[in-house]
Amino acid sequence: MMGAGPVRPVDAAGLILLRGRRDAPEILLGRRPAKTTFLPGIYVVPGGRVDRADHLPSGFHEQIHPAVAKTLSAENGRRPALAFLRAALRETYEETGLLLGGGRAARTARPGAAVWRAYAEAGAAPGFGELDYVLRAITPVGSHRRYNTRFFLGDGGRVEGALTGNGELLDLRWWPAAALERLNIVDVTWALIRSAMQRWQDRVAPGAQQPKLLTYRNNSLVLRDRPAGRA
């Protein structure tokens, strides 16, 4: 269409889960179906767009690290910070069947959405406070489908449930870090994996470091550190 501008990015959230040895962890990845329109046949971490339902409380005590909340709020004035973390945990549950717990259930209200009911039935509380904000990635301007995705890091050793999923991710499993080179992984996911593994190896606590920002310039990936306090 004449005069049409760039597609506006859709807010999304993803979760990278690591478990095992600090120097050689396992990573939860799945392959997108070949017939999907976005990144077909590519291995990715669980994640997806932020829905309006993610603005609603989970029904549990929702304590996140103040630094994580501050950064998310500074980046985005349209959504509460918790919406991104709720979306990351919800998408992970829907696509993998796994729950990232943060202790025993401490409910403040009756859970509404299916994901929060699953936590209640398991006797676990969502691990909001366990999540670290690792990377924000914005799809290139020329793409027909664009996302502004916040990626979080969680401890895969704390998940509960059976690895099943809803079919959105195929070949879903815990992959050893040494096996990743033979998978079809795009540059954004590689940047996420490397950033997350560095924090994992250094045992960085949630909120102790600012997330990296990944954008594109002339179709080339640009990954940079964000100064503290900058949106």
What pLDDT, on the 0 to 100 scale, is given for residue 143? 72
pLDDT of residue 140: 78
Residue 17: per-residue pLDDT: 97
pLDDT digits (tens, 9 = 90+) for 33-51: 878 777 788 999 999 999 9
* pLDDT level of residue 144 (50, 70, 90 thresholds): confident
Q: What is the pLDDT of residues 92-118, one digit of tens each?
A: 999 999 999 876 666 677 777 899 999
The per-residue pLDDT for 231 is 44
Q: How confident is the model at residue 206 (pLDDT cuts 50, 70, 90)?
A: very high
Lowest-pLDDT range of 12-26, 34-48, 172-186, 193-207:
34-48
The pTM assigned to this predicted structure is 0.90
Other CB atoms within a 10 A radius of the CB of residue 184 amount to: 13
Sign of CA dihedral 171, 177, 178, 183: positive
Mean pLDDT of the chain: 87
The pLDDT assigned to 210 comes to 93
- Percent of the chain, pLDDT > 90? 59
Please tell me the predicted confidence (pLDDT) of residue 226. 66
Taking alpha carbons only, the member of 78, 71, 67, 57 closest to residue 9 is 78
Q: What are the chain's domains?
A: 10-225 (3.90.79.10)
Predicted pLDDT of residue 1: 41
Which has more pLDDT, 38 or 167?
A: 167
Q: What is the pLDDT of residues 48-62, one digit of tens each?
A: 999 999 999 999 988
Confidence class for position 230, pLDDT limits 50, 70, 90: very low
Interval 11-24: pLDDT, tens:
999 999 999 999 89
Stretch 117-137: mean pLDDT, rounded? 92
